[in-house]
Chains A and B, each alone.
Chain A
Amino acid sequence: MPQLDVTTFVPQIVWLVISFTAMFLVMWKVCVPRIGGALEARQKKIEQNLERAADLKAEAEAAVETYEKALAEARATAHEEIAKVQADLKAKQDAEEAKLSQSLHAKIKEGEAAIDKALRDALAGLDAMAAEVAQAACERLTGDAPDSAAVNKAVADAAKARQA
């Protein structure tokens, strides 16, 4: 078995020490720092990007908040404006209505007064006409013209009796 050939031990150990030491130096001084550095740089970059993403997210959220606040404010202002305009319109309308109804009332009163007067005039004319009719009727019936004062009195009495 070649593994047990003691004469080969020394050169194997010598070359093992030489090659292993050389490789250790290369790994220690060159490869490990290089790979470790690359990994670290990547980790740092990832962390930086994550941080920036978090910052941007916070910024976006703040912007959304501002926007919503502005929107709510605008809505409130608009509501107020509408209410104010509506109140104004109502007040104007009410005033106009009141004015109109007042003038209508006045006109109605005027009309009523006119009707009253016409009625009274008509009624006054009626008495004279009734007396005339009664006088004419009496004259036809009796051939004698009655005293117009007596007829007037009789008509007035009759009208009074009827009215009573």
Chain B
Amino acid sequence: MAEKHSPLAQFEIKTLVPLEFGGIDASFTNSSLFMVATVVVVSLFLILAMRRAALVPGRWQSMAELSYVFVANVMKDTVGSEGRKYFPFIFTVFMFILFGNLLGMLPYSFTFTSHIIVTFTIAAVIFIGVTLIALAKHKLHFFSFFMPPGVPMLLAPLLVPIEIISYLSRPISLSVRLFANMLAGHTLLKVFAGFIVSLGVFGIAPWAFVVALTGLEIVIAFLQAFVFTMLTCLYLNDALHLH
């Protein structure tokens, strides 16, 4: 019982349907459930909103267009027009993380973005993809990226390793930022929610705090999805234009 009230219990992976394909554990868990739910919710939202694409949009169509225009603007500001063909991927990343975060705000739900393995997998795919795009576009010239122009040769032995390390740490910082924000926010909510009942009448104080924190968490859910998308765009811009 005590374990169930631990602030970290909400992050536990529970297997719902044990599955295995060719020796690979593909069990359907609560995390999988919310991933699938995210896909279904986003797809239904966008498809139903655009079912009758009107010239003058209604409320739902406005929201769908708003999300599209938002990501398109972030891309245009950071990557420019060259990034147009990567838009569907960037848009998917944004919507997947945003709705993953927001669905995680529902009571009794599960936030799959609070697991480092999930955020790291996304970040790693982006990192590898962006590096491959850069290599395909600039060939060996890509490695000049690690030597900023206008720097004296003398500093090269110091600067190049720093640049390489900072480049390699991109997927880590990208994934840890999202994961840590989600983990910290949800843990904090749970901790303060636990005080409400145990403090009796004075529980009103942590209750008010939890209400405020919930609002903040919704903002963070949006902000982290935005930051993740924005950084992905910046990395893509580096890959396309090097410096």
Contacts and interface: CB of A to CB of B under 8 A. Distances in A.
A14 interface: yes
Contacts of A18: 35
A44 to B, nearest CB: 10
A67 interface: no
A32 B84 CA distance: 12
B96 A23 contact: yes
11 contacts: A1-B8, A2-B115, A8-B117, A12-B117, A13-B121, A19-B36, A20-B122, A28-B88, A30-B47, A34-B47, A39-B65
Interface string A111-137: 000000000000000000000000000
B214 interface: no
A82 to B, nearest CB: 58
Nearest to B37: A19
Contacts of A30: 43, 46-47
B134 to A, nearest CB: 21
Contacts of A17: 121
A53 interface: no
B142 interface: no
A26 to B, nearest CB: 5
A11 to B, nearest CB: 5
Interface in A34-60: 34-39, 41-42, 45
B55 interface: yes
Contacts of A8: 13, 29, 31, 115, 117
A5 interface: yes
Contacts of A32: 68, 87-88, 91
Contacts of A5: 13
B172 interface: no
Interface of A: 1-3, 5, 7-20, 22-24, 26-28, 30-32, 34-39, 41-42, 45
B53 interface: yes
B29 A20 contact: no
A7 B61 CA distance: 42
Given A8-B117, A9-B117, A38-B61, 12 more contacts: A1-B8, A3-B115, A11-B32, A18-B35, A20-B39, A23-B42, A24-B88, A24-B89, A27-B91, A28-B89, A32-B87, A38-B50
A45 B13 contact: no
Interface string B68-101: 1100000000000000000111011001100000
A39 B68 contact: yes
Interface string B86-128: 0111011001100000000000000010111110011000000
Interface residues of B, number: 49
A10 B13 CA distance: 12
B11 interface: yes
A68 B37 CA distance: 70
A129 to B, nearest CB: 125
Interface string B22-39: 001111110110011011
A54 to B, nearest CB: 20
A5 to B, nearest CB: 7
A22 B32 CA distance: 13
B24 to A, nearest CB: 6
Contacts of A20: 35, 39, 92, 96, 122
Contacts of A15: 26, 28-29, 31-32, 35-36
